[in-house]
Structure 1
Amino acid sequence: MANSLEFSVVVPVHNEAGNVEMLIEEIVRALDGRAFEMVFVDDASTDDTRAVLSELKSRFPMLRVLGHRRNAGQSRAIRSGILAARAPVIGTLDGDGQNDPADLPDLYRALTRADAPADLKMVMGRRASRKDTPWKRFGSRFANNIRQRLLKDDCDDSGCGTKALYRDAYISLPYFDHMHRYVPALMRAEGYNVEYRDVNHRPRGSGTSNYTNFGRLNDALSDLRGVMWLIRRRRQPGGADEI
């Protein structure tokens, strides 16, 4: 079965007990007719998220559930899911229900189309009409403007969790905490191409956000310095030929 999978959908979750069932149902509807799996990674939730996911496995045989023994953050949860995934193409969604699974087929088709550039490794969503509070939208715009000026990655919505990417390209990237916000810049530094597509965005289903503007900004200032260092220190051989 693993050899026939087209698509693995990876979803990191932390205290999302009220959102996971509906999200799973939506993924199944969106990908009906495809050979896919869902890999939900519970990042040591303190609510009933893990128990709810465990019960849902009997209804959805394509659902796999990984559980972190300790809380390690969203980037680590995404990485754990992608490392465990069995398909060559990965789709990612945030676990709060704000990303729309209905966008995944379009991103998959754009990534795998016959006339795609040879080095296209990721198609990332761009939230066309955000359903967040004005304060949260302001914080994201502020952070994105700084990041774009420093990294020049052409990404104007690094916080969008809706992505389709090739697994082998992702696992070639350096891992660090919060790297999920810098995947476009890291892909480009590795010599890969990234494209963007407008996607839907919805209000949070239940629960509360795990992030604040100030907390995100504090992390971003440190992360940006590290990412800039990584990019400066990359050296590309222009490919490798077997002799």
Structure 2
Amino acid sequence: MGVDLSPSDAAAVDVSIVVPVRNEAGNVAPLIAEISAALDGRWAYEIIYVDDGSTDATSGQLAAMMRTRGNLRQIRHATSFGQSAAVRTGVRAARGAMVATLDGDGQNDPAFLPDLIAAVENGGDRVGLAAGQRVGRKDTGFKKVQSRIANGVRNTILRDGTRDTGCGLKAFRRDVFLSMPYFDGLHRFLPALVRREGYDIAYVDVIDRPRRSGVSNYGFFDRLWIGIMDLAGVWWLIRRKKPTPVAIEVTSHE
């Protein structure tokens, strides 16, 4: 459920911030305040929260804040479809040509959003994605090891040159994201898929933070076998990619 903007307002949105959440009621208000502090006066922006089937007070918190924040929108999934689906829903609804994403648990610091957005803007047509790369990880030791192994295996097979695809802080052009094939787990493989489309990747080091409240709802490669199948599928997509043919229109001259 969201609030429509008029065409003139929609045209004024430069950047859409997409935040996928599930059961993050305690993190909504402080994160929105931080996003606003990072972006106010720099870009015309909107914040799109995609509530992925929350069963707590997340939706109510967002609805209350929407009464005083005209640039805040909420879209709800009736049941949980996962993080990739939530991100895609937000990107499809975005009114900005530029989209930035971050997780809704507070571990991603919105202070890095301007650096990510600027990295894509400064890259011109060459850069399709700016990817946050976490330093000072605040996860448990087990999750750090799990992530390190998953990133190592992924990079060995896909050669995407990215040490950390699990970071939710990213910025990209909306049209580039929507041009890519969609599948559950897409958000884990954005660098490889963006490179497949012929774009470069910009990398921005970001400082990781502890979760503010609640427990983790989205994991990195928590479903091992599905993760392996996703990896195999992306490898196949990259191998099957063919160069775009150079087409020249021939006209007759009398």
TM norm structure 2: 0.91
Return the offset for 1:60. 1.4
CA distance in 2, matches of 1:161, 1:212: 11
1:217 Cα deviation from its structure 2 partner: 2.8
Q: 1:163 to 1:175 in 2, by over 3 A?
A: same
Largest Rg, 1 or 2: 2
Distance (whole Å) between structure 2 residues aligned to residue 40 and residue 110 of structure 1: 23
1:4 maps onto 2:19 in alignment: no
1:13 pairs, out of 18, 21, 27, with 21
Residues 180, 240 of structure 1: CA spacing in aligned structure 2 closer, same or farther, 3 A cutoff? farther
- Who is 1:51 aligned against? 60
Please state if 1:102 is matched with 2:90. Answer: no
Residue 166 of structure 2 contacts residue 220 of structure 2 at CA under 8 Å; is this kept in 1?
A: no
Structure 1 unaligned regions, length at least 5: none
Specify the alignment match of 1:232 in structure 2.
239
Give the aligned CA root-mean-square deviation in angstroms.
Answer: 1.5
8 Å CA contact retained: 1:11, 1:92 = yes
Give the 5 Å matches for 1:13-162.
13-33=21-41, 34-113=43-122, 116=123, 118-162=125-169
How far has the Cα of 1:192 moved from its partner? 1.2
1:204 aligns with 2:200: no
Output the CA distance in 2 between the equivalents of 1:235 and 1:111.
Answer: 25
Q: Distance in 2 between matches of 1:221 and 1:99?
A: 26
Q: How many residues align?
A: 241
Q: How much has 1:70 moved relative to structure 2?
A: 2.2
Letter in 1 for 2:72: L
CA distance in 2, matches of 1:94, 1:235: 34
Structure 1 residues 110, 242: closer, same or farther in 2, change over 3 A?
farther
Kindly provide the amino acid, as one letter, of the partner of residue 11 in structure 1.
V
Q: Which range is displaced more, 51-60 or 160-169?
A: 51-60
Identity of aligned residues (%): 49
Specify the SS of the correspondent of 1:182: helix
- CA–CA separation in structure 2 for the residues paired with 1:117 and 1:15: 37
